[in-house]
Amino acid sequence: MLEKIESIIAKIFGAKNPLSRSTVLSSIPSWDSLNALLLISEIEQAFGVTFSDQEILSIKTIGDIEDCIRKKKS
């Protein structure tokens, strides 16, 4: 799951630096609100989930994305 999330992030942001669960999303070069919305949309489509506004606001790291997906899938 983490590799798929990282792949989506790399596609949207062109991130070339190594990513990990602890990577803070706002530290990714080219991070902005439009790309953030695109990321959420891509993640929702890829994993068949829908995030609430509250969940979206709570996501700060790649690990947070993974945790939200796991909760929704369990």
Residues 53-59: contacts with CB within 8 Å, 24+ apart?
59/25
Q: For residue 29, give the 3-state DSSP assignment.
A: coil
- Structural domains in the chain, CATH included, are 2-73 (1.10.1200.10)
Write down the pLDDT at residue 12. 93
This prediction has a pTM of 0.91
Write down the pLDDT at residue 47. 98
pLDDT digits (tens, 9 = 90+) for 17-52: 789 999 999 999 889 999 999 999 999 999 999 999
Alpha helices (runs of H) in the chain, residue ranges in sequence order: 2-13, 33-47, 53-58, 62-73
